[in-house]
Amino acid sequence: MEEVYMQKREEMEKVRKEREATIKAKKEAKEEAEARRKIARGNMMRKTRHGQPVMKYRIEHLLESIKKSAGNDGSRTA
């Protein structure tokens, strides 16, 4: 009886550890993405001394989004 109990307990512990690992990985990815968005948002909100938006960061953002879409679309159009 004890062997069955211990085996079942070990399996439960293994499943719990796997679940915790996936939750931790998702949490880290979410925090990293949030940090990137916070930096990008800060750059997008920057203004010149005349109140105009700084175009450097907006153009970089557009270029990155175009590259991502071109990379995704490139495999479909081939």
Identify the three-state secondary structure at position 47.
Answer: strand
Q: What is the pLDDT of residue 71?
A: 86
With b meaning 16 or more CB within 10 Å and e meaning fewer, what string describes 28-64? eeeeeeeeeeeeeeeeeeeeeeeeeeeeebeeeeeee
Q: What is the pLDDT of residue 78?
A: 44
CB distance 55 to 62 below 8 Å = no
Per-residue pLDDT of the chain (78 residues; tens, 9 = 90+): 888 899 999 999 999 999 999 999 999 999 999 999 999 899 899 999 999 999 999 999 999 999 999 988 765 554
Q: pTM of the predicted model, to two decimals?
A: 0.57
